[in-house]
Structure 1
Amino acid sequence: MGKNQKAVKVLQRLFDAGYGTEKEIVNMTMDEMLALPGVNVADLCIISELQKSIKANKVISYLSEKTEAREETKGADYGGTT
């Protein structure tokens, strides 16, 4: 099973810094991100992607590095009229 280890580590750092909910992470400002101890550009990119994933309700997909094939078949015919 693939796992985005870097994202998991950044997520743990967010928890340690007191950001423990989706709402808190999504609402983080750039100043708050920059204030995190030892933050670097790669971490900022991961936090940004994490925020996008939270907003799209796709956190597990992001952390597992898997995309959902179901999205591609969205709108497929489910036995109705064609």
Structure 2
Amino acid sequence: MDNKELRRAAAQEFMKSLEEDLKENFMSESPPKQKRKPLPKPTSKKNKNRSQFTLSELEEAIEDIDQYMENQHKEN
């Protein structure tokens, strides 16, 4: 596997793990004591889809972090 494939696999595993953690935390949360106003619904489909990162955006972020870490390591 080359670096891109490894990053993609790691990103997919990370997203899967993150979703599972969020589900677990959401289900274990106690109900709120005060009644809150419901959040307004998104008005456009574009806003609704932007609430999550795409896989390519996550891969780009990972590449940026890798590059930053390499630069920090070279400086020290």
TM bucket (normalised to shorter chain) is under 0.3
Larger radius of gyration: 2
The answer to which structure has the higher helix fraction is: 2
- TM-score normalised by length of structure 1: 0.25
Question: Which has the higher relative contact order, 1 or 2, with Cα contacts under 8 A spaced 6 or more apart?
Answer: 2
- TM-score normalised by length of structure 2: 0.27
